Amino acid sequence: MKVFFDGLDIHELGYGFFDSKLNSFQLERKKPFLNSSRYCLPYPFLPFFNFVYYPKPLIEKNNIDLIYAFKVFPLNKIPWVLDVEEFHYLNAFFSYFNKETFFSSKMASLGLNIMRKGLNSDYCKKIIPLSNYAKKTVLAFGGENLEKKTKVCFPAFKPVKDNSKKEKNKISLLFVATNPVYKGTEFVFSAFNELKKKYDVELNCYGNFSEKTKKAFPEINFGLVSSKDFSDKVLPENDILLMPSLLESFGFTALQAFSNSMPVISSDIMALPEINQENKTGFLINFPQEYHQKIFLNPYYFFHEKKKLKKEKIVSQLTEKTALLIEDSSLRKKFGRNAFKEVSEGKFSFKNKEKTLKEIFSEIK
């Protein structure tokens, strides 16, 4: 069996199972579009921009037997496997959202029908969600009949080293926001404002923050670095990761923190509780049940629902739990060790990833 991997750089990730057990093929990624190949439909075709059709000559020339698609939805009539971070992403969040006009409603319905038909077809051999939460979104959309072909396979993350943080006079808090709108920026800034009154603590923020924001908070350290520098230089120098996200399809930043023995304080939305375990790898901030229900229908409902949240309650939780870790170095180290164990030998380890993938491919006929 020859497998065409698209959207997932198996050699960069270094999965031994892929490299040694499968006859695989990948496109040369000189100009990657989104997470996939150049065959994705462009933005004007929303809600189909994650749909992809691989040209027949490409499939036949390379003798492809199976497509492994990561974050994209294949339209080819040959066997394929779908690796999905969060279901709604595949349809550009049009599942239950943006139906203000007749045109957008019809387009969304068409996209959903194509996906539902594809998932239930014989061409779809396996659906591989990255979390149990993602699996629930798949089954809620496609029906319980998809249960048999759906299997969760957690992502793996390379552990750096089990390096207990050195004692410092000043605790460094880390906040990462590729999009400050939905990462809980206002919660972090407000909590830090309270914490600095009592503790000698610094807040290091990395992401796309506006110049206006930077000028408004001169006491906060802002930066924008490459992914390599973030891994090599930023993570080892920080002590606690803050993730009070309003929207988080998975939460890969938490795994990066785990690989550096760093505890995490996150919201309890979507897949985050599966990563960051309460009182084991860190603390969870509780969001209202109604908020959970809304973003399950579609994550982008958070635009409307965030206005209903009681900010002071979330900030209070974040402040209180961060203070606990600032004051208790032994607890901080304990959570850090547990976090590192999750990526070195637990459910986010390469060993566990490869084991699950072997099971999945053994079931594909």
Each domain of the chain, given as residue ranges in start order, spans 2-156+349-363, 171-344
Residue 134 contacts residue 127 (beta carbons within 8 Å)? no
In sign, the C-alpha dihedral spanning 257, 322, 346, 166 is positive
Same fold across 2-156+349-363 and 171-344: yes
pLDDT in tens, 13-60: 445 555 555 666 666 655 444 444 555 555 445 556 678 888 888 889
Residues facing 201 on adjacent strands: 171
Point out the least confidently predicted range of 26-35, 66-75, 306-315.
Answer: 26-35
Q: How confident is the model at residue 125 (pLDDT cuts 50, 70, 90)?
A: very high
Q: Tokens 């408004």 identify what position?
A: 216
Give pLDDT, residue 297: 82
Residue 204's Cβ-count burial label (10 Å; 0-12, 13-18, 19+) is middle
Arithmetic mean of pLDDT, 221-237:
89
Q: Tell me, which fold does domain 2-156+349-363 have in CATH?
A: Rossmann fold (3.40.50)
What's residue 129's pLDDT?
Answer: 93
pLDDT in tens, 161-208: 655 556 667 899 999 998 888 899 999 999 999 999 999 999 999 998
170: which DSSP letter? S
Q: What length is written for the chain?
A: 365
pLDDT computed for residue 42 by the predictor: 52
**In this predicted structure, which of 182-186, 254-258, 289-293, 303-307 has the lowest mean pLDDT?**
303-307
171-344: what fold? Rossmann fold (3.40.50)
Angle of helix 102-119 versus helix 132-142 axis, rounded to 10: 110
Task: Record the tokens describing residue 261, joined without a space.
Answer: 């023995």
Nearest-angstrom CA–CA distance, 5 and 238: 35
